[in-house]
Structure 1
């Protein structure tokens, strides 16, 4: 019978700071994308793009807030991964995926981008 390995002590190094910075960088990129979606939605009168931008902007705010919470939790906790961190990653990934699907649906529905790409190929 195999014995479970003893739990390793958590490295008190820079891991909490790197994790917090990773969440902050993710939120910053999401902020840039939401600004582009909002601008595109309003400039081209595309409500689907505007709503995708709003959804991503709300998620961006939650991600920025989560970055601070996650830094405090990982600093004080002995467990590097928590259930809430797993759910935060899932919700962030799901929102980004849904915004991507909305963007793809908008492009395919109107077809202007595909027509321009097709014209460039010929």
Structure 2
């Protein structure tokens, strides 16, 4: 093979490992957040928080499975960016955003934040 010939296989280097670790770290943070939401929902009898924790816990399991599958796909594929990868990133972002909005709505509705804000404004 000469220098002018394009390589026939892709040399992934450490990128697949870094990508797999990033997905795993994201799943671990999702696991922590789902545990906090579940605990908060159960302790404070807030059903929306508990259900949000359950949904996030299911998404965490899917994220761990996806991380392993994604790492194998990156290591063997010549096209690491595929439609399923893009959709998984969008679904993950949507689920995390919905869990955050649920938590924010619960804090605003049940918490004393609004009463403190009203006291400051009046």
TM-score range, shorter chain: 0.7 to 0.9
Match of 1:42 in 2: 42
The structure with the largest alpha-carbon Rg is 2
Match of 1:90 in 2: 90
TM score, norm. by length of structure 2:
0.84
Match of 2:73 in 1: 73
Offset, 1:10 = 3.5
CA contact (8 A) 1:40 1:46 kept: yes
User: What is the alpha-carbon distance in structure 2 between the residues aligned to residue 44 and residue 113 of structure 1?
Assistant: 16
Offset, 1:12 = 2.2
**Which secondary structure state, in structure 1, belongs to the residue aligned with residue 13 of structure 2?**
coil
- Structure 1 residue runs of 4+, over 2 Å off? 9-12, 111-120
Offset, 1:109 = 1.6
CA contact (8 A) 1:108 1:114 kept: yes
User: What is the alpha-carbon distance in structure 2 between the residues aligned to residue 45 and residue 119 of structure 1?
Assistant: 27
TM score, norm. by length of structure 1:
0.84
Q: Considering only aligned residues, what root-mean-square deviation do their CA atoms show, in Å? A: 2.3
